[in-house]
Amino acid sequence: MLTIVWKDNEKKWKQLIENLPTTYGVDFPIPEEIKPPFKAFVTMDGSNIDYAVYVKDILPKTEKPKLSRNTKGIQHVLLIEKVEEVKMHVNEIEPVGKKQGTKVQKILLINIEEEAPKIPVKFKGYDDFENAIIEILKNKKENLPESVIREIASRSKKFKLNKEDLEKVVEFTIQEYKKSSVDPHEAVGIVAAQSIGEPGTQLTLRTFHYAGVAEVNITKGLPRLIEIVDARTKPSTPTMEIYLEDDIKKDQEKVEILAKKLESTKVIDVADVEINVTEMTVTIVMDKEKMSKRRISKNQILEAIKKMKHQGTTLTEEGDSIIITLQDPSYKKLYLISEDIKNLLVSGIKGIERAIVKYEESIGEYKIYTQGSNLKSVLELEGVDHRKTYTNDIMEIYEVLGVEAARNAIIDESIKTLEEQGLSVDVRHLMLVADMMTFEGNVEAIGRHGIAGKKSSVLARAAFEITSKHLLQAGLLGESDELRGVAENIIVGQPITLGTGAVNLIYKYPEKKR
Amino acid sequence: MIGPEVQKRISSLRFALLSPDEVRKMSAVKVTTADTYDEDGFPLDRGLMDLHMGVIEPGLRCKTCNGKVDECPGHFGHIELAMPVIHVGFVKEIKDILEATCNSCGRIKLKDEELEIYRPVLEKSILNGEESLEALAMSKKIIDEAAQRSVCPHCGAEQYKITLDKPTTFRENGRKLSPKEIRERFERIPDKDLIFLGLNPNTARPEWMILTVLPVPPVNVRPTITLETGERSEDDLTHKLVDIIRINQRLRDSKDSGAPQLIIEDLWELLQYHITTYFDNQTSGLPPARHRSGRPLKTIVQRLKGKEGRFRSNLSGKRVNFSARTVISPEPFLSINEVGIPEEAARELTVPIPVTPFNIEKLREIVRRGPNPKGEKYLPGANYVIKQNEKGLKQRIMIMEKNAEDVANKLEVGWIVERQMMDGDVVLFNRQPSLHRMSMMAHRVRVMKNRTFRFNLAVCPPYNADFDGDEMNLHVLQSEEAKAEARILMAVQEHIRSPRFGGPIIGGVHDHITGLFLLTYKNPLFTKEQVLHILSYVNYDSLPKPVIVDGKEYYRGKDIFSLILPKDLNMEYKAKICDGTGCKECVFDKCPYDAYVMIKNGQLLTGTIDEKSIGAFKGVLLDRISRDYDSVTAAKFIDNFTRLSVGVISYMGFTTGIDDTDIPEETKIQVDEILNDAIESTKAYIDAYQKGILQSLPGKSPEETLEDNIMRVLSDAQKKAGEIASKHLGMENPSVIMARSGARASMLNLSQVAANIGQQAVRGRRINRGYIGRTLPHFKKGELGAYAHGYVRSSYKKGLTPLEYFFHAMGGREGLVDTAVRTSRSGYMQRRLINALEDLKVTENDGLVIDTTDNIIQFAYGEDIIDPTRSKQGKAVDYDAVFSKALGERFFLQIRGGK
């Protein structure tokens, strides 16, 4: 994005900041490409950028500004909304055109990275029924979660309730809701762990195919659940569900073409790679049939091989084969080159092994299922609906979309795994596990390398795994164990700090009368 | 336990390294003799069993504290090492410090200004004990950086490369560094630098990681075991210490007598080996020290580590008194809150009862009965009386038949009587594996004849118990606090609903469901005599109104069931027997299959009571009652319906047999035809495949396509055959009643008995293993047909051919292996989950979820602060119940189509 940096006077800026929002006259031209609202920068000494300025609008110079850079020669009047302090050096920014020394004299045109557009928070407004309920709640000085309000509203609508009935419904709902709240000090963590662990014995231990047409092998049952809590970098069977943009999602042919584009094709998939020991060359014999099936041209293969970074190689084409000769060949070198070539990506997206097109009756459109996952690259593709496309690789979601998305992915994936096996586990338990795994801002595993290894209590760590290491380390650091958790209090033989143990109540006996 | 004492709490534990001075200071004796006892079996002076270190033999007194066996806590001794020795546990740290510090001036090889920027964070974290993990990472960084420097920035001395020969030999530029040299270097490191090395200067000095004095643990840590033969056997640690002292002595002698350097070094290394294995006998790169018998010794680390180690076996879990274990068996006439206990166990297990002016006479009588009261009826006696004398010392008096009378008369207020168990005592009942909190619940005792624990069958699901030889544990609660908590929080009736899914986990099983099905399906009529029989087990107010049929009085089954329903209950739902097929449109209460349950004001008007109503996990009626009424009502309802059901089923009789699955000849022929067709079509697929004309499914190879098709054809055929066979098995058939009502088995099971078992699978595919190219030598190599890959065409009733039987066993075996593997894997997963989440709790007023260090994990538990246990299948509010309460009959009318 194009914007400007200009030099200004410190005193004037102090004054400006105190009077925000304000109008400000500038004595330099602002290029037409820059359209309000925009973000500009101001430097005081010419080398350090001090402020970021949010300009809401450019007013005609006829407008009289409250302040101005120079009393004379005002060319534009800026409506400044907000000023933020920043710490940047002029060298860190990218000037447009020729570099003009290290200092900003008056004004400098620069390029800054496009700011992510702010996504407006979607809030579905309330309708009449919902508002009526909110009104009733207000009168009663009570509160209910949004989801509950919406649910009773939609049901009330169906029943065409009058105000009196609605009031009754709300009253009963409040009663129900209060009745169901959690007890203070409830050991929710343990309950969650038990609720997920207990049905573990009922899960299957097998990975098998989807029944149906488009089949992608997927890890299911217990192994999948373990994989989720382990926060593995790569799931054993990564897979994606790719939704498509409106213009192609109903067109089977276009979708097929896209799917083929996704599938990563290695040289070995379309050609034979041989080492010719007598000639000391590597020969790549292309398989026309396989190539046409995967829509790969000879040129593509050539291009790919040319891009390889092996030194001292020469390529010669000979009919359907490519021969690679080395300057000073040795068998080891030939072998290495041939292995590299075999795994060379000719087309497609790295990591995606197969892509299958399937017509989804329920939504009336085509979808692509893949074996292997590469969320980042797929989202960048033309024709892919990036809002709905999904992968089962949690760490990839974390890297591409962030922790919150990863947290939701953990919940969704574990629900899916459990539901497939016909087990009902309350979402709250899964949420707690997901929150525990992500609350530090990155995805951490449940277990020795993750949360368990990071507990604050020495005794709790020692009791879990690798006992001696933790005890010895505690000695060096002079750690002290404050005995606030469950495991450590059990070890020293005290009541734990959850549930009834969290309450300290001492009854003072009246003085004994004898 | 009784009285105004306030229990003290340990507020924190601190860890530190022992300095040599401290070791000497806490030592009661310097151990120099490498032996334990003299010929008379008396501990040697300055030996490893020196009486200064505590006593393990009755009769002797500790020379340090003058205590007897149980009084003396034991005292440490020490061994002065002739030469310093490295502590294996710190080898990595020693290497890091050697690398990071200067070999001549002892400073960290970073400039002061480079170092000091880290100080504030490290001080905060190490000295104040906040976030010690951060400190570890930071000091690691410092050490890595410092290790890179080849010249000391402080004194300019040249630095050399340090290597470690596992496990304990350090080399500098290939020259061996003796522990003594290392120790000298470490002594030069100034205190102010320690913090950057990950050491807390208040608790540790680097040179303490190299031992010069070895503490000797007290004798009660390593007791001598005397066998029946009178032979003494020393503990593994004692053995190891003997070795250490012996080598240490030889090393000292050689050193003093000026032996050659080589010999000294050999001895020194041997001492290092013994001390290393004394700490950890599984150090990699060292052969483990062995006992004479060849068994590796269990030394300090082995004692602590792992599942059988001190932490997990003795500290996180402990052995207890007042517990019992025996086989379990069912007793339908007990309440769900009760447990039947054999008299033998009740006599052994006791409850402490403090004597007060109010109960003294009653307790006198109990004590008077002695430990073994006579008589047909069980009456509690007492086993012990705890007397409290003026000094507050407690004295246990065992009650025997001889002294019972005497003790009873002497009984005083303030004493404690250990009374044998009696009806109504609170106990904890548990079945392993204890996978969730419902695996341990509080029951009320009912002392009974015979030697098993007994309980109501409705309580089987939470314990996951059956009666094929299962055993369970029982714990008698001793303190009033424990009893109160158990009664209020752990009682069975408080656990009717499971926190896992927000529904009932205690509920009808098997015959309960069958019984109520028989009672309510199509509303059968009973004569008064029959009804009185059936209801003789149940608490009810009065008989329902009879109906007159043909001039005789009858009682309807649904009316009888309604007796046990709460009187203000209104609900409507579809029963389990409604399979939704066969009806074009639901006619609700006019259902011809009697599958629409309608309860109005506690009266069951239409519908059948089956698994969907009262089953554990699935029962919606039970769900509603356990949510909307208090736990006592819910428990009573369960007690009543189990009794009613047992009454019905035992009065009416219910049996099933192989002939339940008999189907007519012509149906058999039909089934045969279907199966033949299926086989034919698999052949067609195979044919097409072999000719190469089989159309591949997208994304599949021809082989996979063939497999899929065969599997599909065969399972379709099985389904069809099952359907045809089931058509002839009607609702009057006991097996079908069980399957359809959800009591046990499924229609699939029945069709497998009657019609066709179907394809056997291993790893989700047809059976493909065995010989090269074939499953069994009975087939040709490469044969693809159904029979060659585990298709079982027969039915269970018809019987399997030998080949079918073999394949069937393969499928069955896979299931068994699966279960065995699964239990261990899911057990470990659960342990990890528990460990990660155990400390989380909900805060008092705002529903936050926090951990021990007050980190907020969730801002509102489960996003709505709702307890899943009290939720309706996870929903915060039971909308149906709310609307039916608010709107009454209008609600149901709307559901039924708004008419």
Q: Which of residues 196-225 of A touch B (CB under 8 A)?
A: 196-201, 203-209, 213-215, 222, 225
User: Strand order of the sheet with strand A38-43?
Assistant: A67-68, A22-26, A76-89, A48-59, A38-43, A2-7, A107-111, A94-95
- Asked whether residue A252 carries a pLDDT value surpassing 80, the answer given is yes
Note the pLDDT of residue A213.
43
Distance CA B527, CA B650 (A): 16
Distance CA A156, CA A152 (A): 6
User: Strand order of the sheet with strand B175-177?
Assistant: B162-165, B169-172, B175-177
Segment B326-359, tens digit of pLDDT: 999 999 999 999 999 999 999 999 999 999 999 9
Residue B473 and residue B579 in one domain: no
What average pLDDT does this structure show over A505-514?
Answer: 68
Residue B520 and residue B589 in one domain: yes
Cα A383 → chain centroid? 21
- In the predicted model, what is the mean pLDDT of chain A? 82
Residue B392's domain spans which residues? 323-501
Residue B474 domain flag: yes
* DSSP codes, B433-493: S--SGGGEEEEEEEEESSSSEEE-GGGHHHHT--SSS-EEEEEE--SHHHHHHIIIIIBGG
Choose among B12, B132, B499: nearest Cβ to A477: B132
Segment B256-285, tens digit of pLDDT: 988 888 889 999 999 999 999 999 998 888
Residue A122 domain flag: no
- Asked whether residue B564 carries a pLDDT value surpassing 90, the answer given is yes
What average pLDDT does this structure show over B24-40?
Answer: 87
Q: For tokens 């000294």, name the residue.
A: B264
CATH of the domain at B409: 2.40.40.20
Residue A61 domain flag: yes
Structural domain count, chain A: 5
- As to burial, measured by CB atoms within 10 angstroms (0-12 exposed, 13-18 middle, 19+ buried), residue A287 is middle
Angle separating helix axes B734-741 and B511-520, nearest 10 degrees? 100
Residue B495 and residue B578 in one domain: no
* DSSP codes, A89-134: EGGGSEESSS---SS-SSEEEEE-PPPPPPPPPP-PPP-HHHHHHH
Structural domain count, chain B: 5
Residue A16 and residue A98 in one domain: yes
What average pLDDT does this structure show over A298-315?
Answer: 74
Highest mean pLDDT among A382-396, B144-158, B434-448: B434-448
Nearest residue to B175 via CA among B98, B270, B278: B98
Residue A6 and residue A102 in one domain: yes
Residue A444 and residue A461 in one domain: no
Distance CA B513, CA B648 (A): 11
Q: Which of residues 586-625 of B touch A (CB under 8 A)?
A: none
Residue B69 domain flag: no
Question: Judging by DSSP bridges, how do beta strands A22-26 and A67-68 pair with one another?
Answer: parallel
Residue B782 and residue B881 in one domain: no
Distance CA B807, CA B657 (A): 26
Note the pLDDT of residue A115.
61
Residue A15's domain spans which residues? 2-111
Distance CA A158, CA B894 (A): 9
Residue A444 and residue A462 in one domain: no
HSE-CB for B697 with a 13 A CA cutoff: 16
Check if the beta carbon of residue B410 is closer than 8 Å to that of residue B399: no
Note the pLDDT of residue B528.
93
B681 CA to chain A: closest CA distance, Å?
A: 19
Q: Which residues contact B429 (CB under 8 A, 6 or more apart)?
A: B339, B440, B441, B442, B443, B453, B455, B463, B472, B473, B474, B475
Residue A73 and residue A164 in one domain: no
| A446 interfacial to chain B (CB closer than 8 Å) | yes
- Asked whether residue B508 carries a pLDDT value surpassing 90, the answer given is yes
Ramachandran bin of A357, using left for φ above 0, alpha for ψ from -120 to 50, beta for the remaining angles: beta
pLDDT band at B899 (very low <50, low <70, confident <90, very high): very low
Do residue A148 and residue B877 have CB atoms under 8 angstroms apart?
yes
B497 versus B36: the higher-pLDDT residue is B497
Residue A6 and residue A107 in one domain: yes
Check if the beta carbon of residue B177 is closer than 8 Å to that of residue B171: yes
Residue A381 domain flag: no
Q: Which of residues 366-425 of B touch A (CB under 8 A)?
A: none
CATH of the domain at A482: 1.10.150.390
Segment B774-829, tens digit of pLDDT: 999 999 999 999 999 999 999 999 999 999 999 999 999 988 888 888 888 889 99
Residue A83 and residue A50 in one domain: yes
| A172 interfacial to chain B (CB closer than 8 Å) | yes
Residue B438 and residue B555 in one domain: no
Domain ends where: B447, B480, B501? B501
Q: For tokens 């004590």, name the residue.
A: B367
Do residue B435 and residue A198 have CB atoms under 8 angstroms apart?
yes
CATH of the domain at A401: 1.10.1790
Residue from A152, A188, A253, A457 to probe the interface with B (highest B Cβ count within 10 Å):
A188
Residue B456 domain flag: yes
Do residue B867 and residue A180 have CB atoms under 8 angstroms apart?
yes
Residue B497 and residue B515 in one domain: no
Residue B433 and residue B473 in one domain: yes
Phi, psi dihedrals of residue B526, rounded to the nearest 5°:
-130, 145
Residue B852 and residue B712 in one domain: no
- As to burial, measured by CB atoms within 10 angstroms (0-12 exposed, 13-18 middle, 19+ buried), residue B459 is buried
Task: Please name the residue of chain B whose CA is at the shortest distance from the CA of residue A212.
Answer: B708
Distance CA A32, CA B274 (A): 84
Residue B347 and residue B424 in one domain: yes
Residue B230 domain flag: no
Choose among B9, B499, B764: nearest Cβ to A494: B9
Residue A321 and residue A277 in one domain: yes
Check if the beta carbon of residue A404 is closer than 8 Å to that of residue B804: no
Listed range (A136-145, A483-492, B203-212, B691-700) with the worst mean pLDDT: B691-700
What average pLDDT does this structure show over B445-472?
Answer: 95
Domain ends where: A347, A370, A388? A347
CB pairs under 8 A between A and B: 364
Q: Which residues contact B347 (CB under 8 A, 6 or more apart)?
A: B371, B372, B381, B383, B420, B421
Residue A343 and residue A272 in one domain: yes
Length, in residues, of chain B: 899
| A183 interfacial to chain B (CB closer than 8 Å) | yes
Residue A59 and residue A143 in one domain: no
What average pLDDT does this structure show over B558-564?
Answer: 94
Residue from A224, A425, A477 to probe the interface with B (highest B Cβ count within 10 Å):
A477
CATH of the domain at A30: 2.30.130
pLDDT band at B2 (very low <50, low <70, confident <90, very high): very low
Note the pLDDT of residue A102.
61
Choose among A176, A436, A463: nearest Cβ to B312: A463
C-alpha distance from residue B249 to each of A155, B20, B256, B268, B511 (Å): 89, 19, 10, 11, 77
ipTM: 0.91
Choose among A463, A477, A497: nearest Cβ to B311: A463
pLDDT band at A219 (very low <50, low <70, confident <90, very high): confident
| A186 interfacial to chain B (CB closer than 8 Å) | yes
Beta bridge partners of A285: A272, A321
Residue A116 domain flag: no
Contacts of A461 in chain B (CB under 8 A): none
Residue A430 domain flag: yes
Residue A510 domain flag: no
| A159 interfacial to chain B (CB closer than 8 Å) | yes
Q: Give me Rg for the CA atoms of chain B.
A: 38
Residue B627 and residue B729 in one domain: no
Residue B360 and residue B492 in one domain: yes
Domain ends where: B768, B785, B816? B816
The amino acid sitting at B684 is A
| B662 interfacial to chain A (CB closer than 8 Å) | no
- In the predicted model, what is the mean pLDDT of chain B? 89
Highest mean pLDDT among A11-20, A212-221, B482-491: B482-491
Torsion of CA B22, B23, B26, B30, to 10 degrees: -140
Residue B803 domain flag: yes
Note the pLDDT of residue A210.
46
Residue A401 and residue A463 in one domain: no
CATH of the domain at B690: 1.10.132.30
B291 versus A107: the higher-pLDDT residue is B291
- Asked whether residue B898 carries a pLDDT value surpassing 60, the answer given is no
- Asked whether residue B687 carries a pLDDT value surpassing 50, the answer given is yes
Domain ends where: B782, B801, B816? B816
pLDDT band at A117 (very low <50, low <70, confident <90, very high): low
Residue B378 and residue B468 in one domain: yes
Choose among B818, B867, B874: nearest Cβ to A182: B867
Residue A404 and residue A472 in one domain: no
Segment A31-44, tens digit of pLDDT: 777 777 788 888 88
Residue B4 domain flag: no
Q: For tokens 């290394």, name the residue.
A: B269
Nearest residue to B660 via CA among B718, B542, B547, B740: B740
Do residue A356 and residue B841 have CB atoms under 8 angstroms apart?
no
Residue B593 domain flag: yes
Do residue B822 and residue A222 have CB atoms under 8 angstroms apart?
yes
Segment B369-398, tens digit of pLDDT: 999 998 889 999 999 999 887 777 788 999
Segment A339-365, tens digit of pLDDT: 888 777 877 888 888 888 888 888 888
pLDDT band at A425 (very low <50, low <70, confident <90, very high): very high
Residue B29 domain flag: no
